[in-house]
Chains A and B, each alone.
Chain A
């Protein structure tokens, strides 16, 4: 899944959980998936920010 796809799925899951009409077993699975996705998204963004910082630091050396 691309980052954008993960984010979209996360929105979908939170909406379903808030609606709460699905069976509890399904909600539980969605909850698990949602928590996994937030973890993955956070990690992706942290890596991206790190890369940008590295690239900019490398450029500082050049005029």
Chain B
């Protein structure tokens, strides 16, 4: 019998196991699960009578949080860990086995992410009012993208869709979905994102229950509408999204609250109102101008002027009349004075036949007595008579 070293024996065993057994799929219960500081995960996979050590290297994907007691399906390769003389399962993939375990995983992750505040209502962002650039993350060529495009085309033909396809189930799905969300954000054109997929089982929808997708949705700078599965399907992506839509069509409707047709109607009405309003305004201004144009101030001014000139005419007449009157009065007075003067002339009585008597050139006063033989002058109108007194008689 050949004598081997321990290493030689171990390498033979390793070789044998890896060749004869190699890749396996094993079902079992997780036990003693512990992530190491390095990031590698170590656990036991057991059933009622046996157990086997497992390692899931840190670079291998883990789409749910494993818990002791969980039934899982492990896909891996049997390997030998020489330093300890142990055989172990080098895991490529871990999947919760059966619905019950999937639901358990769902609940665990939901609580963990909720506790981290990722689902908090304060985080929810409002959707843009009228986005014209809409991002969509879903599988290429499926009913989802078709429904979304049809609905958007109908409601808002002017909008532009930025489609970033991604696998929506399978191992690669969470990363692809997260990457698509990141890409649409980085391109900076989409104003809002619709992330979703069609209906399916919990396993089919599982990518939307992973921390990867939840964090990508929460980390998106643009608001995200989730449209995963049917009305009754709820995934963690729905909790993380800013708005949840029951179906892809509903998501497209949420993104276009006002259809292009509605907006055109609004515009037509607005332009009609504008026309009417402008006409009313002009009419009102017109009325105001007319009111001012026919206001007393302007309307009566020509009459006022005429009144002024009529007044001037009246004054002219009055002045003339006054002048006339004054002249007539003055004239009358002058003649009156003249008449008066003439009446007072001392020689006037002579015209009437009375005479003026003088003696020695002096006028005879009425009291003077004459003696016979005196010579007097008798002045008449046209001549003067020299006479001698013959006799005088005193009147009784």
**A interface residues, Cβ below 8 angstroms from B:** 3, 7, 10-11, 13-18, 20, 24, 27-28, 31, 34-35, 38, 41-42, 45, 48-49, 52, 56, 59
Contacts and interface: CB of A to CB of B under 8 A. Distances in A.
A14 B288 contact: no
Contacts of B367: none
B271 A18 contact: no
Given A17-B301, A34-B297, A52-B279, A59 B292 contact: no
B298 A14 contact: yes
A50 B295 CA distance: 26
B282 A52 contact: yes
Contacts of A15: 297
Contacts of B261: none
18 contacts: A7-B288, A7-B289, A7-B292, A10-B293, A11-B292, A13-B297, A14-B295, A14-B297, A14-B298, A17-B298, A31-B298, A31-B301, A34-B298, A38-B298, A42-B293, A45-B282, A49-B286, A52-B282
Nearest to A28: B305
Contacts of A31: 298, 301
B295 A49 contact: no
A48 B28 CA distance: 88
B278 interface: yes
A59 B271 contact: yes
Contacts of B278: 52
A55 to B, nearest CB: 8
A42 B298 contact: no
Contacts, number: 56
Nearest to B278: A52
B242 to A, nearest CB: 37
A40 to B, nearest CB: 10
A15 B282 CA distance: 24
A7 B297 contact: no
Contacts of A56: 275
A12 to B, nearest CB: 10
B292 A14 contact: yes
Closest 6 pairs (CB-CB, A-B): A17-B297, A14-B297, A38-B293, A18-B297, A14-B295, A41-B289
A28 B298 CA distance: 10
A1 to B, nearest CB: 14
Contacts of A28: 305
A11 B296 CA distance: 11
A52 B296 contact: no
Contact of B275 (A10, A13, A24, A52): A52
Contact of A16 (B275, B286, B297): B297
A43 to B, nearest CB: 10
Contacts of B279: 49, 52
Interface string B293-310: 101111001001100100
